[in-house]
Amino acid sequence: MQKVLLDIYGIAPGHTQGSYSLILSENDGVRKMPIIVGQYEAQAIAIELEKIHTGRPMTHDLFVTFAKHYNVTLTQVFINKMVEGVFYSLLIFDKEGVELEMDSRTSDAIALAVRFNCPIYTTESIMAEVGIDFEEDRVEKPGRPNEEAKPQKQKSFIENLESMSAQELENLLEEAISREDYLKAAQVRDEMDRRNRKH
């Protein structure tokens, strides 16, 4: 079975409220594979990619801590089948030289992959079936909703960030993290980073 190595390309707003498209791209090619995930799943992936400190460990962080305590390492995620548009994945672990496999939701598998820093694979047959060319301007950084694809309310929030003082941004970031709204925290962090790059 031919495997295709994937990278996380970005996260874009989905067509329905609260859904997101996690976009994976083949490491050695141009095809991209979108996977629909919920807001919680998108946040779980984005906060690790962006290294946002959550204050309390997320469920996936607890899993990583537990696994490492017992010398278990996630060596790869394998998106091994698709049935009626639903992707299925295997977690492949190493426990002191012994390989273990576990079924997983694909969104959870990828959230763990970014925490273990392990490769993500799919099959050539899946990529041939669902792989597409995505428009570059439709995809933002992980965790960043595309402004034009969101309602005006979301665009107003981003515009408001630009008019806030540095202290106001710091306060808003702390508030978003305390409320565990990590997608909003990522947007605030973007504005802070943008200002830092100017100086």
pLDDT digits (tens, 9 = 90+) for 32-79: 999 999 888 888 898 888 888 777 888 999 999 999 999 999 999 999
Q: CA angle 171-115-14, nearest 5°?
A: 70
95/167 same-domain check = no
For residue 146, tell me if it sits in a domain: no
Q: Which two tokens stand for residue 50?
A: 């962006």
More confidently predicted of 164 and 135: 164
Q: Residue 149 above 50 pLDDT?
A: no
**Which domain-ending residue is among 138, 172, 188?**
138
CB neighbourhood size of 92 (10 A): 19
Read off φ and ψ for residue 68, nearest 5 degrees: -65, -30
CA distance 131 to 24: 9
For residue 145, tell me if it sits in a domain: no
47/117 same-domain check = yes
Q: Residue 102 above 80 pLDDT?
A: yes
157/105 same-domain check = no
In terms of residue numbers, what domain contains 11?
3-138
Q: Residue 164 above 90 pLDDT?
A: no
Q: Are 149 and 158 in contact (CB under 8 A)?
A: no
70/14 same-domain check = yes
Return the pLDDT at 68: 93
Total number of domains in the chain: 2
134/156 same-domain check = no
State the CATH number of the domain containing residue 92: 3.10.690.10
62/159 same-domain check = no
CA distance 143 to 119: 20
pLDDT above 70 as % of the chain: 85
Q: Considering the entire predicted model, what is its pTM?
A: 0.71
Q: Residue 9 above 60 pLDDT?
A: yes
88/13 same-domain check = yes
161/93 same-domain check = no
Which residues fall within 8 angstroms of residue 68, CB to CB, at 6 or more apart? none
